[in-house]
């Protein structure tokens, strides 16, 4: 048996986390992006699927991992506690069973996958280009082509190591949905609420990022 198989199940007992917009930038017929289990169809993120129809929801195995996926992009100006509370909420989730089975994910970082499905070092470590990204430029061409391949195999999504984590240890998952929008049949939402202060202080301490404390006594809920 392969120690690190190319595909792996994700049990519902695994805790998952996501930071999502506090307010939706635009309405949609089947929900709004300001939902904890939102499957994006706008082609904005690494493993978003090309074309119209299906959607992708990116989550992390830890709250710190979810936090750095969003806020590492703005770390040039540090972490503003009030800004985080006004813009984002956090959700704790888990993978729902599909037909009584744990969903099956392709492990991008498995040795058994190297050289298959187009997996190579350029894909594993693909980073978006510096901002601003020119109009019409796909920031993740390899990742999105890989996502389409996995989606067409009718697998649940992709397991991968965060490229935003300097230590390359934190695990993320990209869940695929047959339609964009909110889907709690794929992700069970255990809880949702304000982004806790401790994760902002932990990110600041671990990565030596300046932190601007809140001007209010209590965070938004």
* Per-residue tokens: 60: 């992390």
pLDDT, tens only, 24-83: 555 444 446 678 999 988 777 899 987 778 999 999 999 999 999 988 765 557 889 999
Q: What is the pLDDT of residue 219?
A: 52
Rounded Cα distance between 218 and 220, Å, is: 7
Q: Which long-range contacts (CB under 8 A, 24 or more apart) does 205-208 make?
A: 206/64, 207/68, 207/75, 207/166
* Per-residue tokens: 18: 């996501």
Q: Can the peptide bond before residue 132 be classed as cis, meaning omega within 30 degrees of 0?
A: yes
Q: What is the pLDDT of residue 41?
A: 80
Q: What is the pLDDT of residue 33?
A: 64
Q: What is the pLDDT of residue 197?
A: 95
Q: What is the pLDDT of residue 123?
A: 94
Whether 77 and 209 have beta carbons less than 8 Å apart is answered as no
Q: Where are the alpha helices (DSSP H) in 81-190?
A: 81-87, 121-124, 141-152
Rounded Cα distance between 85 and 89, Å, is: 7
Q: Where are the alpha helices (DSSP H) in 60-216?
A: 63-71, 81-87, 121-124, 141-152, 197-207
* Per-residue tokens: 73: 């992009």
In sequence order, which residues have a C-beta less than 8 Å from that of residue 182 and are 6 or more positions away? 30, 31, 32, 35, 37, 38, 39
Question: Distances in Å between the alpha carbon of 109 and those of 8, 116, 125?
Answer: 11, 12, 10
Rounded Cα distance between 15 and 32, Å, is: 24
pLDDT in tens, the chain (221 residues): 446 778 999 999 999 999 998 865 554 444 466 789 999 887 778 999 877 789 999 999 999 999 999 887 655 578 899 999 988 999 999 999 888 889 999 999 998 988 888 899 999 998 887 777 778 788 889 999 999 999 999 999 999 999 888 888 899 999 999 988 889 999 999 999 999 999 999 999 988 888 888 877 555 55
Phi first, then psi, for residue 81 (nearest 5°) are -55, -45
Residue 200 DSSP symbol: H
This prediction has a pTM of 0.88
Rounded Cα distance between 4 and 111, Å, is: 7
């Amino acid at each position: 048996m392969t120690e690190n198989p190319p595909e792996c199940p994700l049990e519902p007992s695994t805790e998952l986390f996501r930071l999502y917009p506090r307010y939706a930038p635009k309405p949609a017929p089947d929900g709004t992006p300001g939902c904890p289990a939102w499957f994006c169809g706008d082609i904005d993120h690494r493993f978003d699927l090309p074309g119209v129809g299906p959607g992708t929801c990116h989550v992390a195995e830890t709250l710190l991992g979810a936090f750095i996926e969003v806020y590492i992009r703005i770390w040039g100006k540090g972490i503003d506690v009030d800004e985080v509370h006004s813009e984002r909420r956090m959700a704790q989730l888990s993978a729902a069973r599909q037909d009584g089975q744990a969903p099956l994910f392709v492990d991008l970082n498995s040795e058994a996958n190297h050289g298959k499905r187009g997996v190579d070092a350029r894909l594993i470590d693909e980073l978006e280009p510096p901002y601003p990204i020119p109009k019409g430029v796909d920031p993740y061409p390899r990742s999105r082509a890989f996502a389409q391949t996995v989606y067409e195999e009718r697998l649940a999504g992709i397991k991968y190591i965060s490229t935003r984590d300097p230590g390359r240890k934190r695990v993320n998952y990209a869940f695929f949905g047959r339609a964009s929008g909110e889907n709690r049949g794929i992700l069970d939402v255990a809880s949702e609420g304000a982004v806790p202060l401790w994760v902002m202080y932990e990110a600041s301490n671990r990565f030596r990022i300046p932190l601007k404390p809140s001007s209010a006594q209590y965070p938004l809920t």
